[in-house]
Amino acid sequence: MAARISSGAAGGVLRVFLILVALLWVTPTVGLLASSFRDPTDIAASGWWEVFSKPAQLTTESYASLFENDDVTSALVNTVWITVPATLLVVLVGAMAGYAFAWMDFKGRDWWFVLVVALLVVPVQVALIPLSELFGTLGIFGDIIGVVLFHVGFGLPFAIFLLRNFFAEIPRELLEAARLDGAGETRLFATVILPLGAPAIASLGIFQFLWVWNDMLVALVFSDSQSQPLTVALQAQTRQFGGNIEILAPGAFISMVIPLAVFFAFQRQFVSGVMAGAVK
């Protein structure tokens, strides 16, 4: 009985602690959401928590101003054009390369994989100047394609490393059975490897999407005024207008809520991929 009571008390304390941590973690998001629906004068006069006692302060004028701002709306579209291709290319190429490193024999396979692992430690800042010169020579500096290629190049080492280790745990007998049924490498990859690796692929896609969507350094260097994503556009609004809170608050919330929606939409696959990697 004493053991049960102590166990229950410990579990209750842990739950209370986790709830408090979750509330502290969510508080900035709630505050930003409340601020995005308040008038700039109300924001300057009082804190965001005033909306709970004065709901009449809530207004959608800030979002109307946001979507009337051509720089911000075009930046949101640019963010989608950058994030979606960069995520899909990393997932697709990383999956194919991971399968090749895991189950295909070719000369120097292990040494090539060591090189891929070594690329994981290369910081992004090291490549900014060399790639800027290269993209300038190719004529893609300042274009969306240059930003996408940079993200793909730096996302592939982690993608290959993650998926290769996951694919290597697939039973060899399963692949041999598929080959005996006449499946070639392409069919084997599409019908066996991809379905079995769906949890790891989903986890990789979430990581890559969040990294590219929230990136500012790469976009600040490689994009211009016509191709800048939302993070750079909001930073420009801060630099130019300082107190332009009716644009910054809703823009920042939209920039944050879309990655959250993607994460919660694929959280089951994400957890499955993490647990599968932990068990293996």
Query: pLDDT digits over 164-208, tens only?
Result: 988 888 888 888 888 887 777 788 888 888 888 888 888 888 889
Query: pLDDT digits over 102-136, tens only?
Result: 888 888 888 998 898 888 888 888 888 899 999 99
| pTM to 2 decimal places | 0.80
Give me the DSSP letters along the chain. Answer: -HHHHHHHHHHHHHHHHHHHHHHHHHHHHHHHHHHHTS-HHHHHHS-GGGGGT-GGG--SHHHHHHHH-HHHHHHHHHHHHHHHHHHHHHHHHHHHHHHHHHH---TTHHHHHHHHHHHTT--HHHHHHHHHHHHHHHT-TBSHHHHHHHHHHHHHHHHHHHHHHHHTTS-HHHHHHHHHTT--HHHHIIIIIHHHTHHHHHHHHHHHHHHHHT--HHHHHHB-TTT--HHHHHHHHHHHHSS-HHHHHHHHHHHHHHHHHHHHHTHHHHHHHHHHHHH-
